Structure 1
């Protein structure tokens, strides 16, 4: 399943040249991931109150083209891999159907002591990789 999340580039997102500041792409993909797990029924506040939080463990990204003020962007998120405590997603930011930023993000669930814990079963069963391993 591909999750889609719409973004509008605001003036505050840009640098002096009117181009989206590089760190804001990380904000865009974070919002998209949060929206995706929310749509799956994951109540992150309840998880946090239960002592479990999502933490980004690894992030690899490529900047392919620039976005500018008032562009309409779409962030597509797909599950790449799921294990007991780890979730890897691929995310692509598109402008008019063209990829302008890609990222592979690995997140883990951690407890209050900072140790990895298993993903909640009700969430793990919904996280099916888009392209199964061959």
Structure 2
């Protein structure tokens, strides 16, 4: 199922630190993936769920696949806005569309999609999203909480 509107997109802000950059002061490409991971985690927290509580409930989220496109570099001290929007909600997975933009000029720096699977913490086998989590993502994104 697909998002019906853009209203449910979540935005997280962060600053580029020295540790995020290479010798030229440009963000190292893999760090965009870290920024996007943090935005997904903060989206989960904003919906009322923490990773540590979910692990206690025998649930983990793992990235099944990722796709990223790089458009322009972020640099030391840039403030970034990172979006996390669920565009597909399945029985045991979520697909996120994400963008990293520089706040100062709204320039698109990186964009990507991530398929995140829900698995059992003890076995790493797929498991259905708990109904409370499924409903929270569905209502926050304009999606229907029905099955696949």
Higher mean displacement: 36-45 or 120-129: 120-129
Q: Which has more strand, going by share of residues?
A: 1
Alignment-derived partner of residue 122 in structure 1: 132
2:18 to 11, 19, 27: 11
- Aligned 8 A contact 1:89 1:106 in 2: yes
Give the gaps of 5 or more residues in structure 2. Answer: 1-7, 144-148
Deviation at 1:27, TM superposition (A): 0.8
- Aligned 8 A contact 1:64 1:101 in 2: yes
Alignment-derived partner of residue 87 in structure 1: 94
C-alpha offsets along residues 66-114 of structure 1, whole Å, 9 cap, x if unaligned? 0000111100111110011010010000012121100101111111211
Q: TM-score, length-normalised on structure 1? A: 0.93
Deviation at 1:118, TM superposition (A): 0.5
Aligned mates of 2:54, 2:141 — CA distance in 1: 25
Aligned mates of 2:20, 2:100 — CA distance in 1: 15
Deviation at 1:116, TM superposition (A): 0.4
4+ aligned runs moved over 4 Å, structure 1: 129-132
Q: TM-score, length-normalised on structure 2? A: 0.84
Aligned to 2:137, what secondary structure does the other structure show?
coil
Alignment-derived partner of residue 123 in structure 2: 113
Give the gaps of 5 or more residues in structure 1. Answer: none
Equivalences, count: 133
Aligned mates of 1:40, 1:130 — CA distance in 2: 11
Alignment-derived partner of residue 44 in structure 1: 51
C-alpha offsets along residues 5-47 of structure 1, whole Å, 9 cap, x if unaligned? 0011111111011100111111100110000001111122121
Given the alignment of the two structures, is residue 57 of structure 1 paired with residue 64 of structure 2, yes or no?
A: yes
